[in-house]
Amino acid sequence: MPVTTFTLIQNNLPVMLWGAGMTVLVSGIAIILGMPLGLVLCFGVSSSNRWVSRISRVYQSVWRGTPILVQLLIIYYLLPLIGINVPPILAAIIALTLNTIAFQAEIFRGGLQAIPPGQMEAARMVGIRIWAARRTILVPQIFRLVIPSLVNETISILKNSSLVSVIAVTELMRVSQQIVATTYRPFEIYIAAAVIYIVINLVLSLAGRTAERRLAHGT
């Protein structure tokens, strides 16, 4: 006897939400790791040292110019080859992080360019060392400026995380596939998954706008 759509969703919602939790977890770790490393890459790209700048830009070009699915597969198959055996979820996080670093660096660079160079000059003249100056003067301002773009990038990572299902990480996408395999109701299940993704992203957008407003008052 075919189960109604409502019952179908009701039965499977818990496990789908668990999958959504994994999605958020994997994405969240990638974003959080991505921020400091993205900043480092950003300063690398804008460095006055030719080699640092060149290598940074090559990294950016490669990781922004190729599909993330291909990057994911490379990391997944490459790591064991060079002796690093990690569970798929770790490979997924590594790939997502390496990818987001390249995009975040570009976002931060945009914020960096909006800050008058005179501020760093003043800090150096007062004797503050370069990384300390960057940390205390540039980084807070950069963050305030780029929150909308960062929110977009976070949403992007969340959507990209659906791809880690192909390397056997059980997040929302894979969970949905497994449910479909047993219930043979692809249309309803995938629509339900779609709704969950949209809700997560709406919440994110809202959080981003609130953060923007709060930080704007602080200026």
Partner 1 sequence: MAQFLDLWVQYAPLMLAGLVTTAWICALATVLGIAVGLVLACLDGIAFEPLRWAIRAYVEIMRGLPILILLFVLYYGGPSVGLRLSAGTVGVFGLGFYGAAYFAEIFRSGFQSIPKGQIEAARMAGLTGSQIIRHIKLPQMLVLITPPMVNQIIILIKESAVLSIITVAELTKNTTQFVNETYAVIQPYVAAAVLYWLLVEAVAQLGKLVERRVRF
Q: Which x/- pattern over 138-157 shows residues binding partner 1 (rule: CB under 8 A)? A: -----------------x--
Main-chain phi, psi angles of 173, to 5 degrees: -65, -50
Nearer to partner 1, 47 or 156 (CB): 156
| 109 near partner 1 (CB under 8 A) | no
Q: Measure the CA–CA gap between 150 and 81, rounded to whole angstroms.
A: 34
Nearer to partner 1, 49 or 61 (CB): 61
DSSP letters for 7-50? HHHHHHHHHHHHHHHHHHHHHHHHHHHHHHHHHHHHHHHT-SSH
| 173 near partner 1 (CB under 8 A) | yes
Contact between 137 and 119 under an 8 Å Cβ cutoff? The reply is yes
Q: Measure the CA–CA gap between 173 and 152, rounded to whole angstroms.
A: 21
| 69 near partner 1 (CB under 8 A) | yes
| 194 near partner 1 (CB under 8 A) | yes
> Which residues of this chain interact with partner 1, rule CB under 8 A?
61-62, 65-70, 73-74, 77-78, 81, 155, 158-163, 165-166, 173, 176, 180, 185-191, 193-194, 197-198, 200-202
